[in-house]
Structure 1
Amino acid sequence: MAAAADNRPSRRKKAKAADKKAGANAADDHLFDRELESLPADLRWREWMLRVEAVIFAAAEPVTRETLSRVVGKACSIDLLIDDLREELTGRPYELVSVAGGWQHRSRSAYADAIRAAATPTRGGVSALSEFESMVLMAIGYFQPITRAELSKIFGKEVSRDTIASLRNAAFIASGPRSPTPGAPYTYVTTKHFLSAFGMETLRDLPDIEALEDAGLLSRAAVQEEAMGAVVKGEEE
């Protein structure tokens, strides 16, 4: 035990490391001029716009407001700056969109056929899913948190672990809270990458579920019956 204790970093060492990190961050802040007070107001705004556009362009995922605030002055309105960037991109084949709690460059839908015809790999494209995997992902989007058994009830056949693994590997879903049903199975929920990949800001942007039910693609009643049946079974046991 004494040897193990000796191997642990002391509080003094931890404090010294934290101070060193804070000092490095302070040095970075000093070297990087966010405020640009030496520039006239119009040139300052223009530089902030270019910085924000560069950060969004280089990022693999949507960039949050918090991230963008690191490259502009404290008095800069991110919303007004984004509005100006969007206006500047009018007429371009790409635009600045709000998805998954941040902003990202996206090609305009009018050029989708040209992009497909080029047959080149696209940045941040949606992973190729089978038709059934796509349907399972859609069901998770609407009914989350949801278990694999509940998904199987919706589709009238087993949703395999391989299907779940495929969606996890594509970073579209993650484990949610344990279900209160017998056995406490894992539930599944969608991720921020799911929102980003399908161009949604929040889950409220999902298509109207009633229309999907009318088309026979999803059954909210089926999963509710499955969940209630599991609860009743657990109480009986």
Structure 2
Amino acid sequence: MADENMSDTQQEALEKEKSLFEAPPMGEQERMVEAILFATAEPVSLRELESRMPHGSDPAEALQHLRKRYEGRGVRVVKVGDNWAIRTAPDLGFLMQKETVETRKLSRAAIETLAIVAYHQPVTRAEIEEIRGVSVSRGTIDQLIEMEWIRFGRRRMTPGRPVTFVVTQGFLDHFALESARDLPGLKDLRAAGLLDNRPLPSSLPGAPEPDEDDDMDLLEGQSELFED
């Protein structure tokens, strides 16, 4: 009865007020997520998407719809760690290469240290040295931290509470990995031509298990694997 006595202007104001508390249609939410991912250089978390979108939106569902819609396209929606981003399809990466640019390569010590952190994280400096069999210079650790490929993790609850190291989201993003669990195994690295024919160290607990005929050295990959 009260609604019948309301003017058209009042009705419009009431409908507008109600719409503020209603989530937009899923198609519109997809467009919003798409716009945010395109405009943001760094991967975006679900929490950040939710904070930017209207009240009641479901960015997780919108991402799944958007991810499916981009399948087979020139770009795709990918998960990087716990965040999301739009990236070039892997098979089209060659179009983005600049032949005139020469990248700086990491030293063998840095490659080995980075590989150990990636495959054994969280790992302490002492554990890195135990696996490598030699001491790790502070400069090597500092270089990898400066490149934002490794970062400090939680301290171990052991005497001295040593700090641990883990790979960063930037590392995962650079190599198009969702998580460190997606790191390639020995067969994949060998097939890609990224490993030399050297014996695999026997003291690498946690590293991918080699086959009986696999005598590749995980840590002595071609330096192109870890270009800066």
Shared fold, TM over 0.5 = yes
TM-score, normalization: structure 2? Answer: 0.62
For residues 107 and 173 of structure 2, the distance between their equivalents in structure 1, rounded to whole angstroms, comes to 19
Number of residue pairs the alignment of both structures matches:
182
Per the alignment, residue 202 of structure 1 pairs with: 179
TM-score, normalization: structure 1? Answer: 0.60
User: C-alpha offsets along residues 123-148 of structure 1, whole Å, 9 cap, x if unaligned?
Assistant: xxx99544542331121122223232
* Alignment pair present for 1:216 and 2:196: no
For residues 82 and 73 of structure 2, the distance between their equivalents in structure 1, rounded to whole angstroms, comes to 24
AA in 1 matched with 2:57:
C
Q: Equivalences for 1:66-81 in 2 at 5 Å? A: 66-81=47-62
Change (3 A) 1:97 1:178: closer
Change (3 A) 1:120 1:36: farther
Per the alignment, residue 65 of structure 2 pairs with: 84
The CA RMSD measured in Å over matched residues stands at: 4.0
Per the alignment, residue 54 of structure 1 pairs with: 35
AA in 2 matched with 1:192:
Q
The gaps in structure 1 that reach 5 residues or longer are 1-34, 224-237
- The alpha carbon displacement at 1:174 in A equals 2.0
Change (3 A) 1:100 1:127: farther
Maintained 8 Å contact 1:139/1:218: no
Change (3 A) 1:131 1:46: farther
AA in 1 matched with 2:61:
L
The gaps in structure 2 that reach 5 residues or longer are 1-15, 190-197, 208-228
Per the alignment, residue 108 of structure 1 pairs with: 89
Per the alignment, residue 138 of structure 1 pairs with: 115
Maintained 8 Å contact 2:128/2:136: yes
User: SS at 1:81's partner residue?
Assistant: helix
- The alpha carbon displacement at 1:199 in A equals 2.5
Change (3 A) 1:165 1:56: same
Taking only the aligned residue pairs, the percentage that are identical comes to: 32
Q: Which has the higher helix share?
A: 1
Q: Which moved more, 1:140-149 or 1:172-181?
A: 172-181
